[in-house]
Amino acid sequence: MRLILILIIVFPCFASAQASKENFIIYSKYLKEFTIKKKVEKIYFVVNETTDFTKMNYLGDLNTSLEELRLYVKNKKSLSDIYSEFRFFAITIKKDTIWMQLLDELAKKMNEGFVIENNFSADLNTIIINKRTFNKYFKHSKSNKRIEKNWIRFHNTYKMPSALIEFSDIAKDEKHAVFYFSNRCGGLCGDGNLIFFINENGEWKLLKEIPLWYN
């Protein structure tokens, strides 16, 4: 009986990773940059609690791009063979190989469980939705007509301008950080990106965004 109780108490600690305080500083900085880029005063960020949707639908795209980069870094592929959105930054990755290590770490993290909490900067408009709430809107969205109806329901609940977003855990060292971010606002509105940050004089700054998919 005692062993069962120990397993019940301890196992959830290993079931899914959680973001650190420093990670939320980076996430919050990115959301502020994102808001500026969209040229709006504020956005209502509806944050999916997990990255399960991305894991099921887009992790393969990331793994394919990473394999191309690995071969390029090892001089087994030319720059022209790299996924077009990666080409410019591929040169940087080849020069500073820590990025490749962190991208491999990110791919592993995205295969693992990750749950995000609402510890974003207080001046951002954020709300976390769990898997049950997410599924209420999108689990059975197969036909285009049904998808659009579900997005209307979503925006009736979370008033415009709103965006359904996902964050992965962050792979980082003291000077480099990379994570996955997706933003969706409709059936044909959204994208998923790799976000690169660099630490300069103790401050995290956005370095590069690379799209993996877009609608």
**How, if at all, do strands 176-186 and 171-172 pair?**
antiparallel
Residue 17 is predicted with a pLDDT of 65
Tens-place pLDDT, residues 18-54: 678 999 999 999 999 999 999 998 999 999 999 888 8
Place of tokens 């191309």: 68
**Burial class of residue 39, CB neighbours in 10 A (0-12, 13-18, 19+):** exposed
Extract the tokens encoding 73: 């870094």
Q: How far apart are CA 85 and CA 81, in angstroms?
A: 11
Angle, helices 87-95/59-73, rounded to nearest 10 degrees: 50
Q: What is the DSSP letter of 166?
A: E
For residues 59 and 16, which has the higher predicted lDDT (pLDDT)?
A: 59
pLDDT for residue 54: 83
pLDDT value at position 160?
80
Contact 164, 181 (CB under 8 A): no
Which residue type is seen at 19? Answer: A
Q: pTM of the full predicted structure?
A: 0.87
Tell me the average pLDDT of the chain: 87
Q: What integer pLDDT is reported at residue 16 of this predicted model?
A: 54
Whether residue 15 is predicted with pLDDT greater than 50 in this model: the reply is no
Any idea which residue has 């019940």 for tokens?
Answer: 8
Q: How confident is the model at residue 112 (pLDDT cuts 50, 70, 90)?
A: confident
pLDDT surpassing 50 at residue 67: yes
- CA pair distance 112, 106, nearest whole angstrom: 10
Cα–Cα distance measured from residue 137 to residue 126, given in angstroms and rounded to the nearest whole number: 18
As a whole number of angstroms, the distance between CA 77 and CA 67 comes to 10
Q: Examine the pLDDT at 203 and tell me if it is beyond 60.
A: yes
pLDDT at 2 over 60: no
- Give the tokens for residue 184: 């969706």
Task: Please report, as a single letter, which amino acid is at residue 30.
Answer: Y
